[in-house]
Amino acid sequence: MLNTLKYTGLVFFSAMMLLNQNVLAADDADSSPKFSGYMFGDYYWAAKSHNPDIEDKNGFQFRRIYLTMDKNVNENFDIRFRLEAGNPGDFSSTSKIEPFAKDAWLRYKNGAHSIYMGLSPTPSVELVDKHWGYRSVEKSALDLNKFASSRDFGVKFSGTLGAKGKARYNLMLANGAGTKTEVSPGKKVIGTLGFQVAEGLMIDFIGDYEARPGDANRSTMQAFLSYSGSQGRIGALYARQTRQGVNTLHLDVTSIYGVANFNPRLNGYIRWDRMYDPNPDGEKISYYPFDKTAKSNFILIGLDYTPHEDVHIMPNIEYTFYNPKAGADVNPDFMPRMTMWYLF
């Protein structure tokens, strides 16, 4: 499998070299860099927690601060560089907010097809995040449960197929280290293929394979059904991740959510995630850790009030209850929050 990934990398590299035929053919577009950004954070209260050290903690926090520079090179090429910063979210660190590179990519566009080179969104998370639309409130299920990273460093092909663009695809070869530095010889391959099955209704099949050190390879299969209409949107996904090792794990998760457009200034959203297995990474989840020894049911309910198109006020509650383990109950997690999201 490792040799296959190496050969795939050579194919991707060759494809990038062929792009030089188009670079000089296009006139310069508007090449002035454009700066934008957004911030989201909360006042939170850990009213209940499975971890007694977290229970009753409260405070103000920035979960994300983004500063983005976008620049058109010409009609075929554009660039994005984005910095991210935020509070640690581990309920113990007192470090200052420090930025790091979140996006750093060059994109080649040709009709309905694009090639990204650099640090860019992973299709296994991006497809769901875009439809869910409330990353400012909570990560989508695979990102939240640490099945996948939202970013990775590599090469990504994406686009639509057919005269009406009713099919879409992504193929990415990446380090598998997220935004961190790569130190492993293994690589990660992610592929998606989606189809519009009716007006507003899409189904996407998503898979990835990551070669990790020590024969601890991981693979994930996911099916994602999404509907968008004038009154709102609904999404449902099922994923299974296999983690090889001394004791191979098969971890299953389901997520179902709905967003309702009540009026131009007010939306409501509700979500339920079910982990059918204890999540060994549960305690590592920032801002809202899960018990790692019990199966979980995560429920999110909230509102989105928009007094201005760039300002969102979003009261919400997160609640997780657990299946009993070895005959003993696990205390639930309950966190009311007042979330702010504003763009500039």
CA–CA–CA angle 61, 63, 64 (5° rounding): 130
pLDDT value at residue 30? 67
What local confidence, expressed as pLDDT, does residue 328 receive?
81
| 235: CB partners within 8 A, 6+ apart | 128, 131, 132, 224, 225, 226, 227, 255, 256, 257, 258
C-alpha–C-alpha distance, residues 41 and 121, integer Å: 21
How far apart (Å, rounded) are the C-alpha atoms in residues 12 and 237?
Answer: 30
Q: pLDDT tens digits for 299-329? A: 999 999 999 999 999 999 999 999 987 778 9
Q: Are 257 and 162 in contact (CB under 8 A)?
A: no
Helix ranges (H only) for 86-154 are: 123-132, 141-144
Identify which of 39, 102, 98 has the alpha carbon closest to the alpha carbon of residue 69. 102
**What integer pLDDT is reported at residue 318 of this predicted model?**
98
The H or E element spanning position 130 is helix 123-132
Nearest CA among 318, 308, 343 for reference residue 64: 343
Instruction: State the residue for tokens 């439809």.
Output: 131
Specify the pLDDT at position 183.
Answer: 87
Could you say which DSSP state residue 181 is in? P
Structure tokens at 218: 């991981």
Question: What are the pLDDT tens digits along the chain (344 aa)?
Answer: 545 445 445 444 444 444 444 444 444 556 799 999 999 999 999 999 999 999 999 999 999 999 999 999 999 999 999 999 999 999 999 999 999 999 999 999 999 999 999 999 999 999 999 999 999 999 999 999 999 999 999 999 999 999 899 999 999 999 999 999 988 889 999 999 999 999 999 999 999 999 999 889 999 999 999 999 999 999 999 999 999 998 999 999 999 999 999 999 999 999 999 999 999 999 999 999 999 999 999 999 999 999 999 999 999 999 999 998 777 899 999 999 999 999 99
The per-residue pLDDT for range 14-36, each reduced to its tens digit, is 444 444 444 444 445 567 999 99
Domains and CATH numbers, the chain: 2-343 (2.40.160.10)
Report the pLDDT value the prediction gives residue 214, as an integer from 0 to 100: 87
